[in-house]
A = this chain, B = another copy of it.
Amino acid sequence: MAYDLYYWPMIQGRGEFIRLALEEAGAEYVDVGRLPEADGGGPVAIRAFLDDTANAHPAYAPPILKDGNVIIAQTTNILGYLAPRIGLPPEGERGRGWANSLQLTISDLVVEAHDAHHPIGSALYYEDQVEEAKKRTPIFLEQRVPKYFTYFADVITRNGDSDAHLIGNAVSDADLSLFQVIAGLRYAYPVAMARIEPDYPALTALHGTVAARPNVAAYLASERRIPFNEMGIFRHYPELDG
């Protein structure tokens, strides 16, 4: 039976980390928000599912995954549930705990990537906080991104099984998520990333390895991959790049 993913259809957002895992694994899924409204899709379907009072375990926000009668929210939580079921490594409690730790750190970076352009409030327009964004973003690019990148490069270095992956010697859900963050940062900050990335060749290589996976490559080339845009987490505002 197919998984149902409930996420906003206009953006990659946090739903993209789930989409990438499902696509790499070749798992069958319905991206409910991207169905036509006439077929029970669209943002209205996401909102209705979010507000469904029959759900004993309500979600605070999308993404939400439905697997039969199991309803599960929060990106890292969904990935921890999905990965072993769709055949993504690593296996076992120790392995999944390590993958979860990495996913949580990636998630922390994602929050900072969003707040770089929205430092005052996510419900306000960017234009209403552009001056503050111009203060936060240079700190993000000069201090925070290098700190996270140094960490992830170190994780790859310490991985005794491979110098191409965060965990073991195969593409894990953690690799997929880190790929997505690098892709997003390249979109948002082409100038800054051209300066930052050469210091982290292992991350550039990981991005390339993931992008070349047949299922990922087919997905990225398809219409299922929503383009990056200025409604999502990673936004290209030229005045913030540099």
A124 contact set on B, CB distance < 8 A = 139
- What's the least CB distance linking A105 to chain B, in Å? 5
- What's the least CB distance linking A212 to chain B, in Å? 27
Tell me whether A200 is interfacial, beta carbon within 8 Å.
Answer: no
A73 contact set on B, CB distance < 8 A = 101
Given A97-B72, A132-B120, A135-B132, A105:B60 Cβ within 8 A: yes
The reply to whether B57 and A101 form a contact with Cβ atoms under 8 Å apart is yes
Tell me whether A119 is interfacial, beta carbon within 8 Å.
Answer: yes
A229 contact set on B, CB distance < 8 A = none
Chain B CB within 10 A, most for which of A57, A101, A104: A101
Q: Taking beta carbons and an 8 Å cutoff, which residues of A are in contact with B? A: 53, 55-60, 70, 72-74, 76-77, 80-81, 94, 97-98, 100-101, 104-105, 108, 111, 115, 119-121, 123-124, 129, 132, 135-136, 139, 143, 148, 151, 154-155, 158-160
